[in-house]
Structure 1
Amino acid sequence: MKPIRIVVVDDHAVLRDGIVSILNAEPDFEVVGEAGSVAEGVAVVRSTGPDVVLMDYSLPDGTGLDAIQQILPVLPQTQVVLLTMHEEDDLLFAAIRSGANGYLLKNISAREMLARLRNVASGQVAISPTHTKRLFSEFARSEPAGASETTQLTSRELEVL
């Protein structure tokens, strides 16, 4: 089985080193690059073409969302997971809209992080249970799909339907 090729992007070197050590200890992961900024991260991702990118949200020269906008148009098959301390719902929703495949909090255990990264590599998403509940609550509050379209139909169109 081919290992999951991963790039780690975080501006805190000690945290990045720890994550890289955890990943390198696993036989099914291969760290192919690491970086400490959006610019470095995008360059490393473009040159290595990893399966997964594990990226901090807040970086010195921008955000993980900025990086996603530069990565996915060139490498749409790459799965990007944001690893952050930010619990705000609006950041979660922005990450999903930008194309992220995961949104994990930095208080996650190493074992849970590894499991979530494996899930993402197999085509699933990685969102903490707390954020999953918030996501469902937000979706439930939203207007149902198609609701606005039916209100714009004429009475004759509704009659035909």
Structure 2
Amino acid sequence: MKAPPDLVTVMLVEDHRAVAEGLWALLDEYDDLTVVGWADSVAEAVPMAEQLSPQVVLIDYRLSDGTGAEAAARIRARDPAVVAVFLSADTSDAALLAAAEAGASGYLLKSAGGDEIATAIRAAAAGEILIPARTLMEVLARHRETTRVSDQHAERLGRLTAREEEILVLMTQGLDNRAIADRLTISYATVRTHVRGILEKLEVRSQLEAVAKAFEWGLRPPAPDAAPEPDGA
């Protein structure tokens, strides 16, 4: 039997039972809202939504087998009439962007009160978009800048030769130039030449700054089975 026209049907997607039960009890207090089901994973949410056809899925971002964005995208691909409202503890720009790209109508934090959640569900069911365009524009701008800076850092690290990267890794381990020369069985002068090249390519002024940037930019040592360059390189 179908729900009355003024009754909003809600499906919960939440991988913590206590939270899901609390939300179910909370929403049951509102006469115009009814919870029709609860899924605790992406894998369970998609077929359940297809079976129950809820008007709104109230969905957590972090799930045991993926993200709420994945679940929302797959649910809406099968039935675009279903709207998604996220209720999450994740405050990151990446989570908000992923939710928006999945077609979310709203994104609430788990600190939201019952009336706020109920109001968001009603508004989403009525076709309102609760994520302000200005907020999305700001998040996109920050995301683009972060990506640009990350690409710039990767490009600088990519300028290093295999030997320079090897020396930089040893620098991050606290070895000085003489210790590096001994470790690699190359001359002290050769190490100094490579260090000058590292500073120039990373656009830094000291070995200490080079080490700090290497950590900041996520430098990872080469694979253990990487073939070493000939001595004296």
Which range, TM-score by smaller chain? 0.7 to 0.9
Instruction: Give, in whole Å, the separation in 1 of the partners of 2:66 and 2:141.
Output: 32
Instruction: Give, in whole Å, the separation in 2 of the partners of 1:5 and 1:134.
Output: 28
Instruction: Give, in whole Å, the separation in 2 of the partners of 1:96 and 1:29.
Output: 24
1:32 is aligned to 36
Does the CA contact (< 8 Å) of 1:117 and 1:126 recur in 2?
no
Larger Rg, first or second structure (1 or 2): 2
Is 1:109–2:113 an aligned residue pair? yes
Give 1:100 shift.
1.3
- CA 1:34–1:141: 2 relative to 1, 3 Å: closer
Instruction: Give, in whole Å, the separation in 2 of the partners of 1:72 and 1:105.
Output: 22
Contiguous gaps of at least 5 residues in structure 2: 144-233
Q: Which amino acid aligns with 1:137?
A: E
Does the CA contact (< 8 Å) of 2:97 and 2:140 recur in 1?
no
Count residues in correspondence.
140
Write the deviation string for residues 18-42 of structure 1: whole angstroms up to 9, x where unpaired: 1111111111011111111111111
Is 1:49–2:50 an aligned residue pair? no
2:84 counterpart SS class: strand
Instruction: Give, in whole Å, the separation in 2 of the partners of 1:75 and 1:37.
Output: 18
Report the aligned-residue RMSD.
2.2
Is 1:137–2:141 an aligned residue pair? no
- Please identify which structure carries the higher strand content: 1
TM-score by length of structure 2 reads 0.55
Residues 77-86 or 92-101, more deviating? 92-101
Q: Which amino acid aligns with 2:13?
A: V
Does the CA contact (< 8 Å) of 2:58 and 2:86 recur in 1?
yes
1:124 counterpart SS class: coil
1:7 is aligned to 11
Write the deviation string for residues 36-63 of structure 1: whole angstroms up to 9, x where unpaired: 1111111211100010000111111111
RCO higher in structure (CA 8 A, sep ≥6):
1
Alignment of 1:69-80 (within 5 A): 69-80=73-84
- Please identify which structure carries the higher helix content: 2
